[in-house]
Structure 1
Amino acid sequence: MRVAPRKLERGDAVGVIAPASPPVAERLDKAVEYLKELGLRVKLGRAVGKRCGYLAGTDEERVNDLHEMFQDPDVKAVICACGGYGTGRIAERIDYDIIRNHPKIFWGYSDITFLHIAIQQCTGMITFHGPMLSSDIGKEDVHPLTKRSFQQLFHSMTLSLTEDVSPLETIVKGKAKGRLIGGNLALLVTTLGTPFEIDTREKLLFIEDIDEEPYRIDRMLNHLKMAGKLSDAAGVLLCDFHDCIPKKRDESLMLKDIIQDYIVPEGKPALSGFKIGHSSPNIAIPIGAEGVLDADKKQLVIEPGVS
Structure 2
Amino acid sequence: MGKYLDIIKNAYSGYWNYLKNEIITINHWDNFFYGLIVISILVWILEIAFPWRKDQSIFRKDFWLDTFYMFFNFFLLNLIVLIALTDTAAIFFDDILGLVGLSIANFQLFDVDELPLWLGLLIFFIVSDFTQWNTHRLLHRIPFLWNFHKVHHSVKEMGFAAHLRYHWMEPIVYKSLLYIPIAIIGGFDAKHVAIVHFFSITIGHLNHANLGWDYGVLKYIFNNPKMHIWHHARELPKKGSYGVNFGLTLSIWDYLFKTDYVPYNGKDIELGFHGDENFPKDFVGQEIYPIKLKK
More strand by share: 1
Give TM-score scaled by structure 2 length. Answer: 0.27
More helix by share: 2
Give TM-score scaled by structure 1 length. Answer: 0.26
